[in-house]
Amino acid sequence: MSRRLLPHLLLVVGCFAFLLWPRLLFLSPPGGSLHAPPSMQQPPAATGTAYQVLLGALLLLPWPATAKEDISAEQPLVGPSLVLVGMALLWVLAQQQQQQQQQTRQQQQQQQQHHQQQHQQQQASGNEGEASTSSQSRDNGGEASMPSQCRANEGEASTPSQCRGKEGDVKTPTATTETKPTTTPPSQKTATATTTPPALTATTMITTTSRCRGKESRASTPSQCLGREGESSTPSLCCGKEGEATTTTTATTTILTTTTTTSMPSQCFQHLVPDSPLLKGGRMAGQEAPLVFLLVPSSEQLAEYIRTDPAGPFAKPSFEWPARLLAPTSGQSERRGGDKEASLREGHWADWGFEYSSREPFLLKADWHSVQGWGEEFDIFVPRVDSITTVRRAPPRLLAFLEAFREANDHCWQAIIKGLEVMKAEQTDSPNPIRQRLLDLFLEQFRERGHFGAVEAQAGPALKSRNMRWHFDGATGLLHLGITLGGRRKLQLSASGERHEVTLAPGNFYLSSPFLFDHSVSYDAAGESRGPVLALMCRFGFLAEDDALWVNHLRGPDMLQVAGLITSCLQTAADAGTLRLPSLEEVVQTETRHKRSPTG
């Protein structure tokens, strides 16, 4: 009975092997996993066919004997034995075929890796060539075709810490907390934006690595790192080239990753109203003057470094204030005109040139210059006295900061210079004396490093809240950097038909053109969490009194065009992420250089 059933049993087993074993042999990748890649979903055609024919023939060998019921005792297992032998041979054949496939796949993978390495090397070579070629564009490639068009310097980086790369839009996610202005009903249009650290922490700065993309790109957020051409030695800086890439699909991008060595990352300026960066100020030549208001929400470490300068006037833990500032004056009604009659005769504040202010009787004010090459003393126009005055050099750390700030953003100033030169060249055939004088005045300022060259220092005990009247600054405020070292102030400005309020606390920096918009400043009373008012106003340092007095009242079409050029360049640099504060390391390096060469 068992002999009669054995062929049938072998036939059933053989059928299962016939159906299943090809899949087990040819679908299993190395390692035994049944999840084979698509290339292994079918066995080789020749091997599979031979296997099926041979296995079928071997399975049919015992069938005639079974059908005739004539199975001899001597040869009951001839057919099954042949089946097993055939299966063993086919298994060996399948193993060899599998090894060949594995070797073929390994060779293909090695070839792909080799091609990828060659492609990356070609890209790197192309980037280096492009960077070296574009380094000549400082004089040739950055010219503005129109006065209002700002194109920054396309080659040389003013500092090695600026990120550089190839063009493209960076969409690197960043942690962003953004306070947008809120508008009240039309009867009282007021927008509020706070620059204190908790209220306007616009970006989380990258302190370990930086990914930079490059040439002529626009950052959608300030923390995105966009490149000027080349490589970055300080990746924590959010920097880039001006311009705008409309899509990322057409851009060639290169990711450069390095490690920062600075003790504190520099920070980029952001727009007061991110959704509407270009604001409209007071009327000029029948039009609303374009302007930008840019902020660095907080750089407390940098501000503290400036304030605690042992060679400066603000390093003391407590201050002795003149009795006049401690008197119970209201401070609300201010005298119009200069501060020519109020001076201190002795004491700590007098040593640094501080004087009483008749406009703000609750403050002391001093005037310094911030250009190393101008020497210990220099004659510049002082707006609060409306005349040329001999002023002393700013304290060492403040001087180093402003020199480093000019160097870090030199591409922006060079773009303004080229725009002014284009405007001047347009008047060759029919020169306009007023226009020529205006352009020469501002060209001199940028070439002599007079931008931010005049510093007005303010200090006061802030016994109670005070308010200033609304006003426009003079022409020295066409490019203005405000620094808060102590106390808390609120700057209210009227722009684009709305009123914006900006809270300025220690570590806040802003860059704008108060010559173009109506504004007022209020001073909060000193409390436990904030000390006396310590503020710095950095403006143009005009060198000729007649020019300074003349340009203060110039608000015609020529001044409108100059204001538009400066605004355009500031906006372009801010949008690209290139307009920034210097890092603390850069300031320290500049200060060290000044000590080695005191005269510049």
Q: What is the pLDDT of residue 416?
A: 98
- The angle at the Cα of 539, spanning 354 to 496, to the nearest 5 degrees, equals 120
Q: Which residues contact 497 (CB under 8 A, 6 or more apart)?
A: 189, 280
The tokens describing 382, both together, are 């002082």
- In angstroms, rounded to a whole number, what is the distance separating the alpha carbons of residues 518 and 500? 11
pLDDT in tens, 195-230: 333 333 333 232 333 333 333 333 333 333 333 333
Q: How far is CA 399 from the centre of its chain?
A: 25
Q: What is the pLDDT of residue 2?
A: 55
Q: What is the pLDDT of residue 113?
A: 73
Q: What is the pLDDT of residue 7?
A: 63
The tokens describing 373, both together, are 């090459």
Question: In DSSP terms, which residues pair with 491 in a beta bridge?
Answer: 502, 521
pLDDT in tens, the chain (600 residues): 555 666 666 666 665 565 555 544 444 444 343 344 444 444 444 455 555 555 555 555 555 544 444 444 445 555 666 666 677 777 777 777 778 777 777 777 777 777 667 666 665 655 544 444 444 433 434 333 333 434 344 334 343 333 333 333 433 333 333 433 433 333 333 344 433 333 333 332 323 333 333 333 333 333 333 333 333 333 333 433 333 333 333 332 222 223 333 344 569 999 999 999 999 999 999 999 999 999 998 899 999 999 999 999 999 878 899 988 887 654 444 444 444 445 677 788 999 999 999 889 999 999 999 999 999 999 999 999 999 999 999 999 999 999 999 999 999 999 999 999 999 988 666 778 999 999 999 999 999 999 999 999 999 998 888 999 999 999 999 999 999 999 999 999 999 999 999 999 999 999 999 999 999 999 988 765 578 999 999 999 999 999 999 999 999 999 999 999 999 999 999 999 999 999 999 999 999 999 998 776
Alpha-helix runs per DSSP H in 357-452: 396-408, 410-425, 433-447
Question: In DSSP terms, which residues pair with 401 in a beta bridge?
Answer: none
User: Model's pTM, two decimal places?
Assistant: 0.59
Q: What is the pLDDT of residue 57?
A: 58
- 499 with 190: CB under 8 angstroms? yes
- In angstroms, rounded to a whole number, what is the distance separating the alpha carbons of residues 40 and 458? 79
The tokens describing 590, both together, are 């500049």
Closest by Cα among 338, 288, 336 to 555: 288
pLDDT in tens, 514-572: 999 999 999 988 765 578 999 999 999 999 999 999 999 999 999 999 999 999 999 99
**Cβ burial 454-477 (10 Å sphere, 16+ → b, else e):** bbbbbbbbbbeebbbeeeebbbbb
- 228 with 167: CB under 8 angstroms? no
Closest by Cα among 218, 275, 271 to 246: 218
Q: What is the pLDDT of residue 430?
A: 74
